[in-house]
Amino acid sequence: MPILRLTLKTLSIAFAVAAVAGAVLLLARPQPIESAVLGTDWECTRTALVLTTCAPRAIPAVETLRKEAASATRG
C-alpha cells in the first residue's frame, strides 16, 4: 500500500493551490495610497483592494522638539 502516490492530477492540484495562495498573499499586502481629501498629514493604505485605513503621519521627535522650542521663544 503506497503512502504517497504522485500523479499528474495531484501535482496539478498542488500547483494550483500554491498559485492561488501566492496571489492571495500579493493582494493582501497593504499598499500605500494618496488621499487628496485628508492632505499630507495623513498616511493611508489599502489592503486586498477592499479595506482602506488612514492614520496621522508620525512626526519625528526632533522635529517636535524644534517646533516646541520655536513656539516657546515666540510667546
Domain definitions of the chain by residue range? 31-75
User: Cell for 6?
Assistant: 504522485
Max CA-CA distance within the chain?
A: 87
How far apart are the two ends of the chain, measured CA to CA in Å? 87
pTM of the model: 0.46
For residue 16, how many C-alpha atoms fall within 13 Å in the half-sphere facing its CB?
6
Three-state DSSP at 74 gives helix
pLDDT per residue as tens digits for the range 3-53: 667 788 888 999 999 999 998 888 888 888 887 788 888 888 888 778 888
